[in-house]
Structure 1
Amino acid sequence: MRVQPGIRKFLLGLLTVALLMMLAACGGGNAGNAANEGAGNTGPADQVTDGTDDGRPERTVEISVAMVTDVGGVNDNSFNQSAWEGLQQFAEEHGGKVDYLQSQNDADYVPNLNQFVKSGRDLTWGIGYMMSDAIRQVANQNPESKLGIVDDVVDAPNVVSVTFKENDGGFLVGVVAGMMTKTNKIGFVGGSEIPVITRFEAGFKAGIEAANPDAQLIVNYTGAFDAPDQGKAAASTIYNSGADIIFHAAGSTGDGVFGQAKELRNAGRDVWVIGVDKDQAQTFGNDITLTSMIKRVDVAVRTISEEVMRDEFKGGEVVTLGLKENGVGLPEHNPNLPQEVLDKVEEFKQRIIDGELTVPENP
């Protein structure tokens, strides 16, 4: 059939308009994607996409992780804060919803844990040795939930327990203190006298003895992890006894140790503090922080949260992190330590890793 010239022109016109509309739509879609990429993740904050080898999405996982602090609080400049930083980094890297509840006293532990568990969080952390009974109770009452605890072992099929070899890290800062002291008197301020803290003391004492057998260690337990005034009083007593270096393992109670040291520094005393859990020079300054014993709670919390994201949660597992696993140690930068001290620390570190030296767990 022959098409009349007028009709042919009309059909060609319609085809041209259709093609132009298709091209415009394609161009608009690309511009929108570029804008979204520039703005970051504009989708739901709690979605994580697993991809196949060719980059196409395989499935979308909604991940929600929460933590409950002990009484030290999330801004303790110590392990609670480190754990929260680990969860925040997890969310930044993978997406996901993270949150915390702060416990004012031990009566808050079970209600806070239950609040997250009952709301369907994929993983709920209890941070600190003092939360072990609460974790055990909540885990037994909610067998389908997934929980984690830092600093103690809870024997339950739905709990992952993370512990650290604080004695190994304590040994290294003990070597530092033994080599750096000018008075041969060194102090240790602990929170409660519980196994996780006595491991710090045991390692610290052994490291001092290995580096300087003539040095004396003065020990003071305050009985609290949230009492800077008690930390200040304990530090005052130890410094007044002639010590020039104090290592604290006392959570936010240790803030008072730094406060007392600063006062004495301003009065002309040459005193130092060794920080704990985090590089506390970042908080209190290199002018008062000799070094710190790092305890990588942030890495542990983030790593196990990633396992939950990948459906690889290992309930009942106990994860122990020491020098070999890079779970404890000194900060990367130590501007106050001479090279000979750093070399000696590295020597002892390697001996511990190689099994030539066993650090005691009890003072």
Structure 2
Amino acid sequence: MSNTKRRAIFGGLATIATAALLAGCASAPAASTSAPTASAIAGFKPCMVSDLGGFDDKSFNQLGYEGLNAAAASLGVKAITVQSNAETDYAPNLDSLISQNCTLIVTVGFALSAATVTAALANPTVNFAIIDDAADNNFDGKTDAPNIKPILFNTAQAAFLAGYASASYSKAGKVATWGGMNFPTVTIFMDGFAQGVDYFNKQKSKSVQVLGYDEANPSAATFTGGFEANDTAKTTAANFIDQGADVLLPVGGPIFQSAGAAITDSGKSVALLGADADVFDTFPTYDSLYFTSVLKGIKQATSDVVTQAGTKSTFDVTSYIGDLSNNGVGIAPFHNFQSKVDSGLQGELDTIKAGIISGSIPVKSYLVTK
């Protein structure tokens, strides 16, 4: 991806305001209470700031939160977390954690990129990690502060598998994908999904259509404008159902919940995919609708990064990149749809996965992995 194109996508991040009242901690999943299994270096204090989705989003904020607390419990330390309820909360929330002497601050989501870079440059003795962003607001291919470790996931590879499976399952010959906002870590799902559908069409001589995203014209993709489960998100899903799509992949935190409500209201047989977490487990309200989920290993990656920071004298800022080869991404089981998919589908997916890992089946992504 060119720097010009990336600027267009990331443009809004640099305008995040930095003055606001401190956002209070919100309800979140219970922290782990297991006994310590490792010794933390003296004074280690891990902390985390959420994005607008909140720590109970049943998605990537929650997974990061769980990973942080799992590591803290294993190290015998207490983590400090603060939730952001508006973009203007990011900077003051970071300042609050710095004032509490946090030694590692994990920020959740690409929307915190600019605020994280600013805080890291101003506080070079504090270590930072950011989930789902390269902290490269200068668009030069380098992290903008020497004390930030990016935690990234090449989800295009997993979404490719989900797209292939969705095309195989679709009876209508129409599937749909859309996002919350136009960020690379959102569109990477949509792009991989569309590539998977395209690969299915070529392998099977089919013509399954993708609504909401066009590989040839990604700027025309559909977005709800935010990461909230609201009427706009529900209407967006309903529109795709009305257009005949029978498999839906919404990408953007809890907007999948609105899609579930839209499917239920429609009374139609429509399958729903989750993103980031296996929503069959994290949000079982619509368990009868869930076809599969495109997974990021956010919990394990966050736990590993926090544990490393808490036990090593030197903080390793090398980017973590999760992909199919290291099980950093994947797809969830078909759960209630297992008996409804083609009997040979899993074998085909296993072969495709091996091809992606070997490079014989290329998957385009803005994220270049080594």
Give the alignment's TM-score, normalised by structure 1. Answer: 0.80
Contact 1:206 1:359 in 2 (8 A): yes
> Which residue of the other structure, out of 195, 217, 234, is the alignment partner of 1:206?
195
Q: 1:98 to 1:356 in 2, by over 3 A?
A: same
Counterpart in 1 of 2:218? Answer: none
- The change in CA–CA distance for 1:60 and 1:239 in structure 2 (over 3 A counts) is closer
Choose the corresponding residue for 1:115, options 96, 99, 102: 96
Aligned to 2:355: 351
* Correspondence for 1:277: 276
Question: Contact 1:307–1:313 at 8 Å: present in 2 too?
Answer: no
- Cα 1:132–1:60 change in 2 (3 A) is closer
Map of 1:131 onto structure 2: 112
Matched with 1:66 is 47
Instruction: Name the amino acid aligned to 2:91.
Output: V
AA at the equivalent of 1:328: V
Instruction: Give 2:211's match in structure 1, choosing from 208, 218, 229.
Output: 218
1:332 Cα offset (Å): 5.0
Structure 2 letter corresponding to 1:119: Q
Displacement of 1:151: 1.1
Q: Which residue matches 2:328?
A: 327
Where 2:344 maps in the other structure, the secondary structure is: helix
Q: Write the mapping of 1:1-363 to structure 2, written as runs, cut at 5 A.
A: 50=39, 61-154=42-135, 155=143, 156-212=145-201, 213-219=206-212, 220-264=222-266, 267=267, 269-282=268-281, 283-284=283-284, 285-311=286-312, 313-331=314-332, 334-337=335-338, 338=341, 339-361=343-365
Query: Separation in 1 of the partners of 2:34 and 2:308?
Result: 24
Question: Once the 2 structures are TM-superposed, how far is the Cα of residue 321 of structure 1 from its aligned partner?
Answer: 1.0
Deviations, residues 75-101 of structure 1 (Å, cap 9, x unaligned):
111100111111222233332111311
Q: Which has the greater radius of gyration? A: 1
Deviation at 1:253, TM superposition (A): 2.1
Q: Is the 8 A contact 2:41 2:312 kept in 1?
A: no
8 Å Cα contact 2:41/2:311 also seen in 1: no
1:261 shift after superposition:
1.5
Distance verdict in 2 for CA 1:345–1:312, change over 3 Å: farther
Task: From the two aligned structures, give the one with the greater strand fraction.
Answer: 1
Over 3 Å counting, the alpha-carbon distance change for 1:60 and 1:306 in structure 2 is closer
CA positional deviation for 1:335 = 4.1
Report the residue type matching 1:116 in the other structure. L
Note if contact 2:34-2:74 (Cα within 8 Å) is conserved in structure 1: no
List alignment gaps of at least 5 residues for structure 1: 1-38, 42-46, 51-58
User: How many angstroms apart in 1 are the aligned matches of 2:34 and 2:159?
Assistant: 42
Q: Deviations over 1:18-48 (max 9, x none)?
A: xxxxxxxxxxxxxxxxxxxxx986xxxxx87
Q: After superposition, what is the alpha-carbon deviation per residue over 1:327-361, rounded to whole angstroms, capped at 9, x for unaligned?
A: 11012563413442222111111100111111112
Residue 217 of structure 1 aligns with an amino acid whose one-letter code is: V
| TM-score normalised by length of structure 2 | 0.79
Alpha-carbon distance between aligned partners in 1 of 2:190 and 2:309, rounded to the nearest angstrom: 34
Identity across matched positions, percent: 26
Distance (whole Å) between structure 2 residues aligned to residue 102 and residue 290 of structure 1: 31
